[in-house]
Amino acid sequence: MTGWSRFEGYSIASLRKDIISGTIVGVIAIPLGMAFAIASGVKPEYGIYTTIVAGILISLFGGSRFQIGGPTGAFIPILFAIGMQYGYENLLIAGMMAGVFLVLMGLLKLGVLIKFIPKPVTIGFTAGIAVIIFSGQIANFLGLRDMKRHESFVDNMKEIGLHISTINMYSILTAAVCLVVVILTIRFAPRIPGSLIGLLVATVLATLFFTGKVTTIGSAYGAIPNTLPSFHFPIITWERIGSLIRPAFLIAMLGAIESLLSAVVADGMTGERHNSNRELIGQGVANIVAPLFGGIPATGAIARTATNIKSGATSPVSGVVHGVVVFLILLLFAPYASNIPLAAMAPILMVVAWNMSERKEFLHLLKTRTGDSLVLFITFLLTVFADLTLAVEVGLVLAVILFVKRMGEVHLVSKVLPDPTSVKVEAHMVTENHDCPQIGIYNVEGPLFFGAAYKFEDTMPGSGPDQPNIILMRMGKVPFMDTTGEANLAGLVKQLKGNGGELMISSIQPQPLSLLRKTGLYDTIGAEHFYEHTGDAINDALHAIEKSKCAGCRHFAFRECTALSHSDEALGQRGFKVQLGYES
């Protein structure tokens, strides 16, 4: 989908729908933007700036017709950790670097690769993030005083325990009212922005009855300015870039996953198809520009995107309108936002955490008690008790190891012989008393790669006088071979040639054949030893055996063995030819 194709068939009626949907989403985005910013450890206005700048740019340059961008809950733990460790200025630089990474990923057309991140990893860290967000709001919900925020989940829980005696009942009442309003709105009036209604009701309640008794945005962070910040380009040095590469890359990966997941959800709701690579470029541009205005990293917001679609959006114009509406509200009503109690923000984030927790999928995967369950659980634990960077890295490594193990188990090598009752070669025909001493036929199934190397080596015959000198490998079910598999095959060829034997291959697929040509092993084996049909290979193998060794043999592995075992003199007089058309 090109940029302009998103506006095909646009009309005045479409503009009207976009203005309505953009206004609704803009109103919803304001409390969420402030809440996400506060939870990320920065001032609430930075969340609003992000919503305005990044929201507009993601809609203009992204690859989805309906995507709404802005600050999201998924970023909270990592942004808070970066801010704590490096400071706000470096957080902005990390966001810009993440934007560059996202643009490069889009230009290199890596959008499709993001979708290959295993589900247990995404659900594990998403559930872990939800726990961190939820637990991080307990102090504001209870109105605890003199609290210090830490990077560590355990330290934050200890902090709550140390200050539990400072519970503020007014804060609890304010938070409870907001929570009840949000839940009731979601339950009975889902089209109404419950977070905004709950915030307004709780703020009015606290202003009228609890003045000075609950902590507000103004008392904690100062008044929210009703203007955009001036353009500021942070001081970027190579030293800063070097120290921020790892967190910046994590922001980029998380932003890519979140935005493309949101775009996929939008596709499912509308029947449209987004452009993954263009979406990454749009996200990258937004994250490069937003920090220049004080904005924190942003990505596609699933809940706001879904609301945008349900409200009747028809094009990216709704996303632009959403940003403009937030800007207008900032200009007109910013001073009043200073009166919002932090206790009223807490239940909004708790509901966000509950909704993003993937609790049903989490429990479902956990109950399967498979390797995926282990990856899920370890990723979850590391997200909560260590950090998101380590959790994703370990989760991906475990998922890769699990994948390799499973693919290795899929690889099968079985020795086979012709079944006289059919034209097939079957494994059950090979027994201790029914097996050709000179010809070994093997069915190879599954990818021949490093994860299956041990199986191949264990199954293939060794060297020695009691081993067959002619090996026929049926490779019609080997879709892929890597250089490790090729090296195993080369070792077998060397072993056979050293004993005066030879390797034959039938029904080889294009990729393995191409690799053998590139490495030169094809020429070493010999073009004459590659066969399209197994029957032709068996016929040549029977002509190549040492017929003197057949005298007295009682295995009778092939139909020709009866004549071969009686006497080679008679055989020489009569000759022979394979009569059976073996299956290829």
Which residue range is the domain that position 59 belongs to?
Answer: 16-362
User: Are 332 and 428 contained in the same domain?
Assistant: no
Q: What is the pLDDT of residue 566?
A: 66
Please identify which residue in the block is written with the tokens 């460790």.
85
User: Are 99 and 213 contained in the same domain?
Assistant: yes
The answer to whether 191 touches 306, Cβ cutoff 8 Å, is: no
User: Are 320 and 462 contained in the same domain?
Assistant: no
Q: Which of 292, 230, 242, 309 is nearest to 24 (CA)?
A: 309
Q: What is the pLDDT of residue 463?
A: 62
Looking at 299, 327, 362, which one is the last position of a domain? 362
Q: What is the pLDDT of residue 443?
A: 92
User: Are 175 and 288 contained in the same domain?
Assistant: yes
User: Are 357 and 415 contained in the same domain?
Assistant: no
Q: Which of 297, 301, 315 is nearest to 263 (CA)?
A: 301
How many domains, the chain?
A: 2
Identify whether 157 is part of a domain.
yes
The answer to whether 506 touches 472, Cβ cutoff 8 Å, is: yes
Report the run of H or E that residue 442 belongs to, with start and end. Answer: strand 439-445
Instruction: Indicate the length of the chain as a whole number.
Output: 584
User: Are 226 and 312 contained in the same domain?
Assistant: yes
Identify whether 23 is part of a domain.
yes
Rounded to whole angstroms, how far apart are CA atoms 361 and 116? Answer: 18
User: Are 423 and 520 contained in the same domain?
Assistant: yes
DSSP helix/strand/coil, 70: strand
pLDDT by residue for the chain (584 residues), tens only, comes to: 555 565 666 788 889 999 999 998 999 899 999 999 999 999 999 999 999 999 999 999 999 999 999 999 889 999 999 999 999 999 999 999 999 999 999 999 988 877 778 889 989 988 998 999 999 999 999 999 989 988 889 999 999 999 999 999 999 999 999 999 999 998 998 878 888 899 999 999 999 998 889 999 999 998 898 887 788 899 999 999 999 999 999 999 999 988 988 888 888 888 888 899 999 999 999 999 999 999 999 999 988 998 899 888 899 999 999 999 999 999 998 888 889 999 999 999 999 999 888 899 999 999 998 999 999 999 999 999 988 878 888 998 998 898 888 888 887 888 899 887 766 888 888 888 888 888 999 999 999 988 887 788 878 876 666 788 899 999 999 999 999 999 999 999 999 998 889 999 999 999 999 999 999 999 999 999 999 999 899 989 988 888 888 877 878 888 778 777 764 444 444 444 444 444 44
User: Are 120 and 248 contained in the same domain?
Assistant: yes
Q: What is the CATH number of the domain that holds 519?
A: 3.30.750.24
User: Are 438 and 358 contained in the same domain?
Assistant: no
Q: What is the pLDDT of residue 113?
A: 77
Please identify which residue in the block is written with the tokens 């009686």.
566
Please identify which residue in the block is written with the tokens 């029957």.
535
Looking at 362, 397, 424, which one is the last position of a domain? 362
Identify whether 35 is part of a domain.
yes
Tokens encoding 94: 């990390």
User: Are 342 and 464 contained in the same domain?
Assistant: no
